[in-house]
Each structure stands twice: as C-alpha cells, then as structure tokens.
Amino acid sequence: MRRVAQIIAVRPEKLHEYRELHRDVPPAVLDRIRRSHISNYSIHLLGDRLFGYFEYHGDDLEADLALMAADEATQRWWRLTGPCQVPVTEAAAGEWWATAEQVFLME
C-alpha cells in the first residue's frame, strides 16, 4: 500500500461552494476512485489550503490516475471543483495537487 498526501489551495471566495460540492459527491465519481484502487480518501481544510490523503492499493498509480482522468463523470466533477482550487506555490510545473513528502510514519 502506498500513502499519498497532496496539497492545493482553495480560492477564499469559493470555499462555501467547495464545501457544498463535497456534501454530495456523485456516486459515479466515488466508484471511479474505488476502481482506481484508492481507499481511505479524505480532504481536510486549514486556512486556504486543502490537504488530501489517500491509500493506494494497486500496482500502477499513474495508470490508475490516467483512467480516472479519462472518466466522463470525473471530468464533469473536476469542471465543478477545479475553479474552486489553485495550485500552491510548491507545486511542480504542470502539477495541480502538489504531492507532499512523507517524513514520518507511526503504525
């Protein structure tokens, strides 16, 4: 299993909308996430930063994320959530959610 932590900023004027969208995530989007071998997925908010965490149980995260990106329901969802977000300054070129380095783990 691979743990993934990611960070992105939320536009302050879109915070309410972002929260409301996540009160009712479309079942097809959740299904695609599960079929991409992702579990224990959560998003947390601190100030204007969103912190996402998930556990990946597959063999090829990049391929599974590409399948997710090609999914029509997911694309519709991202058209709703995308305008609420802005990459953080630490994001690499072309990176939307910046992946955080794990520096500690206690199991």
Domains, the chain, with CATH or none: 2-99 (3.30.70.1090)
Q: What does the pLDDT profile of the chain (107 residues) look like in tens digits?
A: 999 999 999 999 999 999 999 999 999 999 999 999 999 999 999 999 999 999 999 999 999 999 999 999 999 999 999 999 999 999 999 899 999 999 999 99
pTM over 0.85: yes
Would you state the pLDDT for residue 73?
98
pLDDT at 77 (0 to 100): 98
Classify residue 76 as left (phi > 0), alpha (psi -120 to 50) or beta.
alpha
- How confident is the model at residue 9, as a pLDDT? 98
